[in-house]
Copies of this chain bind each other. A is one copy, B any other.
């Protein structure tokens, strides 16, 4: 598999996990930042190779082999992200770009040993689950902060948007994974929240609240 093929497979996997039922050529083109015509070409190639189901005008989906491939690339991507943060001291907003390159390195042993070096982490620096060697993907039983009722207490376990801009915003406001959050007040007008993070009180917009994954703590 070429880097490009791997990137398409990964994109299709992410589109599929995001809940869309039928994955259109345009959707893939947008995610890949390429043209629909290029996508059509690639879908034919991936279909040849048995990685996707593809019928003209009908959208695309991953075959079992395609899914396995996607999970293996995502596993590598996320393990490398953990490595960059834990072993090399990268910030969580710096790792994605480099992991995009590292995820394409081909060596089963490399990734197994890396997993071991990192003590078999279950989540990447953004709280996303790391697929196992055999493609088992842990299910985050988390919800979005914005959906909690007033008075709830929860732990921050992940970010939905892991763009550098958002991550740096969180850094500036000292919001990190593991923080305990309590919903104090919800503004009807714009759905913004007043929350308590550890000891600190903070006002965050609905936008922010809907990009933080939390796990409720039962009291």
Interface residues of A (CB under 8 A from B): 84, 87-90, 94, 97-98, 101-102, 105-107, 109-110, 113-114, 116-117
Chain copies in complex = 2
Taking a contact as CB atoms under 8 Å apart, the answer to whether B102 and A90 are in contact is: no
Pick from B88, B97, B106: contact of A117, CB below 8 A: B88
Give chain B nearest CB distance to A176 CB in angstroms: 21
In the complex, are the beta carbons of B117 and A94 less than 8 A apart?
Answer: no
Having A94-B109, A101-B105, A101-B106, one finds 14 other A-B pairs with CB under 8 Å, namely A84-B110, A87-B117, A88-B110, A88-B113, A88-B116, A88-B117, A89-B113, A90-B109, A90-B113, A98-B107, A98-B110, A101-B107, A102-B105, A105-B105
Partner of A105, one of B98, B107, B110: B98
